[in-house]
A and B are shown apart, each in its own frame.
Chain A
Amino acid sequence: MSAVVDERTSVGRLGDSITRPDGTAKVQGSFAFSSDLSAENSLWGATLRSPHPYARIVSIDVTPAYRISGVEIIVTAADVPGKATYGLITQDQPVFASEFVRHVGEPVAAVAADHPETCRRALGAIVVTYEVLEPLTDPERAIDGSHPPIHPDGNVIRHQRIVAGDVDATGEVVVEGEYEIGMQDQAFLGLEAALALPDPGGAGVELHVATQWLHEDRKQIAACLGLAEDKVRLALGGVGGAFGAREDISLQVHACLLALRTGRPVRIQYSREESFLGHVHRHPARIWMRHHATADGHIVKIEARMVFDGGAYASTSSAVLINGITHTQGPYKCANAVVDGYAVRTNNLPCGAMRGFGVVQACFAHEGQMDKLAVACGLDPIEIRLLNAIETGDRLITGQVIENVAPVARCIRDTAALALPDEPVGGHDGDPMRLPGGAGRTADARHIRRGIGFAVAMKNLMYSEGFDDYSTARCRLANGVVTLKFATSEVGQGFVTIAGQIARSVLGVDDVVLDPIDTGVGSAGSTSASRQTWMSGGAVNAACQKVLGLLFAHVAATNGVEAWSLRIDGSDVVDASGAFRLSVVEATSAISFDETVEYRHKPTEDLDENGQGDCHTAFAFVAHRAVVDVDPELGLVKVIQVATAQDVGRALNPLSVLGQIEGGIAQGLGLAVMEEIIMTDGRIRNPSFTDYLLPTFLDMPNVVATLIEEPDPIAPLGAKGVGEPPTISSTPAIVAAIRDAIGKPLDRVPVRPSDIIGLV
């Protein structure tokens, strides 16, 4: 039943491309994902959801559902024993809607029954009477106050300005643009799923769940259940991808509540449609930018206005907004700026974290601007970016000075130096499969136009704005075997691989055992914000280093050598003279060491009213170049190649880094040309994999990647997070390539066939 990674990892030290410790189980189908967990006598849970974007609940009658054989219990808002609402930053989202529903798909009730089909019928039998209200769907109406508040907290989630330098500064060259970013879904494959196991007498509950942050879930669940946190135990159910969508609560409280009320284990698994309704998405955004520059292309001032549509509940919108506006300049020097940013509440689907977290939106706009600036100044897209490339020691528009390694110019040059595809349109063999439209065989090769686009990004790493951001790890060493314990969510990114590499490198052991990932140790923080390599890697490293100190002291005391002179050489402890050598296995045969460490990064600050403050922890950089073929008659795009050079600090596992780069680019490609949740009047029109298009093998091109390894002295292992940057500037690079191919401005993503043909 356990979904934890609990097997010995393969041998390998830092820098090795070793394979995943859970790889064999995953390819054999024996790895237990959260949806694979069941228990004796368990029930199925399911959720009744609002069909309306905005309505008042007049009445709920559950009695017809209770007449269905196999139905055990139905719960509504009235049954929530603790706090009625939850949320990551502000607790504004109801466990179940009571007075109002504020978005399509908002939970209204939950049922537990003997079979998923019984659940479905029970949901259909619950009678909810709604008074339908006019939804607020236009973010501008949330800002201008023309729609009454749809929530007691109001329609503006956060408004923040940045005012930097000389606001009256002007440049000889001025370029302006309005950009729009559509709502993207994380579309992880492993749907939301959990198994809740009640303690006898309902004293507590154990939840096995796919999540990004066990301890934060526990805090919110316990509050809603009215239980002490130690009565709620969470274990990581195998996670089938996350990408931000598992940072918020979805089914956690519902599953626990049903289990506590029935005294039986309860499984909940979302359908794909429900998943689209039941988790937060990437914020759709509208961004206006005006860049002022000198005639030779140096940026003088940036003005911007950004509006992020947060949907019905706050989630992490306020943090997404701050990421967006503080990345207005991108990886470019800029002394003067005026930026106005809003995150607003509407009756659209709630939005929150997705890979890139506000920076995806900002980057699409600033990179569109850089290309416009290049044209206006008579430079090429690479020259304008090199001219303005930010460096270590430069001051951002927030006043924060970049302390990290910042190889922006190198990212740009190395990307530009990668070989362009040698294949002509249609490939050397003229196979129509290689043309836009692929298997549809619709394109005429003579009409296809090729384009090349370039884009560069900066991304903050870790949490910002004064958040107490830490991770915990425990290291035990006995008989030459290291056992590591942490609550770091493994979502596919491969932390379980590098954790073992760190322990082997620090302590000179071959055998590393990973304890189950659960709340039996302190918080690791979230698997998000490209932070776990740095944070949990830092915690594992610190715990191992502490054990190493104890090991050396023990070896010194028992062998008459000086502790300060000892170091690890391969699998042995040796002294500086080389005369003393003892294997770690022998040294720990009769003694064990056990240390738990909390690792914290340097504190950050809130932004003041002018958006000034050292709000971020660290930054990583990346450049992308895209080559596309476009069929201008049918509006179809085929991405031929994406090239990238990424600042990774130090690649702890190069194969794993490459996987993040290729996977991240695929999601960036999706946003560029195909992925969008389409909302009409607050209703989602495409909640399925038939209608929400994901990149397939045929949509994704070959990726050519260079890792820029300049170990960052600020990072505990020299390594920067690598997960988000690939998703960020790949999108604007692809759109720039399409613009290059067809000569149209294209100011929104995803680029649709109608945008290319010119129907809209």
Chain B
Amino acid sequence: MSDQMSDDATASARVGWNEQYALHVNDEVREVRDAWVGESLLFVLRERLGLMGTKGACEQGECGSCSVMVDGELVCSCLVMAASAVGQRILTIEGIAPIGAPSDVQRAFVDAGAVQCGFCTPGLIMAAHDLLERSVQPSEIEIREELSGNVCRCTGYGRIIEAVQRVSVNRRAGAST
């Protein structure tokens, strides 16, 4: 671990600690001030923009808890440098649906019993929305493969698969009527 800052640096001399940039998050432009350049998108979303719905659980892109959409692509926000996401459209769990008016995927997770401790849930909601955007009728093996980047320690996954299948069925029923 090499420090880019000498140990006896003063606050004013701290290099890379006063970054200013703007992120495009959930259809809003959000200013980030006096940030350390090394901060991850996960950290900035949570600690600088107050968007606490995105969770950190492994810090190395293995568990998917921190999943957000960046320019339409599902990514682990712990692996993205926040300052490198300038100019990209970021969608977080807070942008999925207004509080009190959950999306069909969110409702299905609650109804199917897909939530226990709920820590992995926002990341899984992001991944499930992404999957169901791309695939109208995913097979069970497809759901398993597509969501396998999101680890859940409580549920054993059965109810989550059930929730995704319910949404798929309901959306197709809605589309055909």
Bound pair (A, B): yes
Residues of A at the B interface (CB closer than 8 Å) are 17, 19-20, 22-33, 35-36, 38, 64, 67-70, 115-117, 120-121, 124-125, 186-191, 238-243, 271-272, 427, 431, 433-434, 439, 491-494, 655-656, 658-659, 661-667, 688-690, 694-698, 700, 702-703
Q: Are B110 and A121 in contact (CB under 8 A)?
A: no
Distance (Å) between the CB of B106 and the closest chain A CB?
4
Question: Is A35 touching B56 in the complex (CB atoms < 8 A)?
Answer: yes
CA distance A67 to B3 in the complex (A): 14
Does the CB pair A24–B106 fall under 8 Å?
yes
A27 and B119 form a contact (CB under 8 A): no
Chain B interface, DSSP helix/strand/loop, else mixed: loop
What is the CA–CA distance of A695 and B120 in the complex, to the nearest angstrom? 14
Residues from chain A with a CB closer than 8 A to the CB of B143 are 697
The contact of A698 among B107, B110, B125, B145, by CB within 8 Å, is B145
6 CB contacts below 8 A, A to B, read: A19-B111, A188-B153, A240-B117, A272-B59, A661-B156, A662-B157
> Nearest chain-A residue to B149 (Cβ)?
A696
Closest beta carbon of chain A to B175's beta carbon, Å: 23
- Tell me if B11 is interfacial: C-beta within 8 Å of chain A: yes
How far in angstroms is the closest Cβ of chain B from A285? 22
Q: With a CB–CB cut-off of 8 A, which chain A residues contact B20? A: none
Cα(A188)–Cα(B96), bound, Å: 25
Chain A residues near B57: list those with CB within 8 A: 189-191, 240, 272, 689
Q: Is B113 an interface residue (CB 8 A)?
A: yes
Contact of B115 among A27, A36, A695, A698 (CB under 8 A): A27
B36 touches A241 (CB 8 A): no
Give 4 nearest A-B pairs by CB, closest first.
Answer: A29-B53, A492-B117, A26-B118, A240-B119
Contact status A30-B99, CB under 8 Å = yes
Known interface pairs A29-B53, A189-B151, A702-B158; A688-B118 also in contact (CB < 8 Å): no
CA A695 to CA B158, docked complex, whole Å = 13
B173 cross-chain contacts in A, Cβ below 8 A = none
Q: How far is the CA of A124 from the CA of B152 in the complex (A)?
A: 33
Query: Which parts of B1-60 form the interface with A (CB within 8 Å)?
Result: 1, 3, 5, 7-11, 14, 36, 38, 43, 46-47, 52-60
Q: Report the minimal beta-carbon distance from A79 to chain B, rounded to whole angstroms.
A: 22
CB-defined contacts of A187 to chain B, threshold 8 Å: 153
Give the interface centre of A64, A661, A697, A703 by most chain B CB atoms within 10 Å.
A697
- Complex contact B1–A659 (CB within 8 A): no
Residue in contact with A659 in the complex, picked from B100, B107, B159, CB distance below 8 Å: B159
Interface 1/0 per residue, B55-90 and A, CB below 8 Å: 111111011010000000000000000000000000
In the complex, the answer to whether B157 meets A666 with C-beta atoms within 8 Å is yes
Q: How far is the CA of A238 from the CA of B116 in the complex (A)?
A: 12
Is B156 a contact partner of A439 (Cβ separation < 8 A)? no
Q: Do the beta carbons of B147 and A23 come within 8 Å of each other?
A: no
Decide if A69 touches B10 in the complex (CB within 8 Å).
Answer: yes
Determine if B7 and A121 form an interchain contact, defined as CB atoms under 8 angstroms apart.
yes
Q: Are A272 and B141 in contact (CB under 8 A)?
A: no
Across the interface, do A190 and B55 meet the contact criterion of CB distance under 8 Å?
yes
List residues of chain B with CB within 8 A of the CB of A17: 113
CB <8 Å contact, A688 and B99: no
Segment 136-155 of B: residues with Cβ below 8 Å from A:
141, 143-145, 147-155
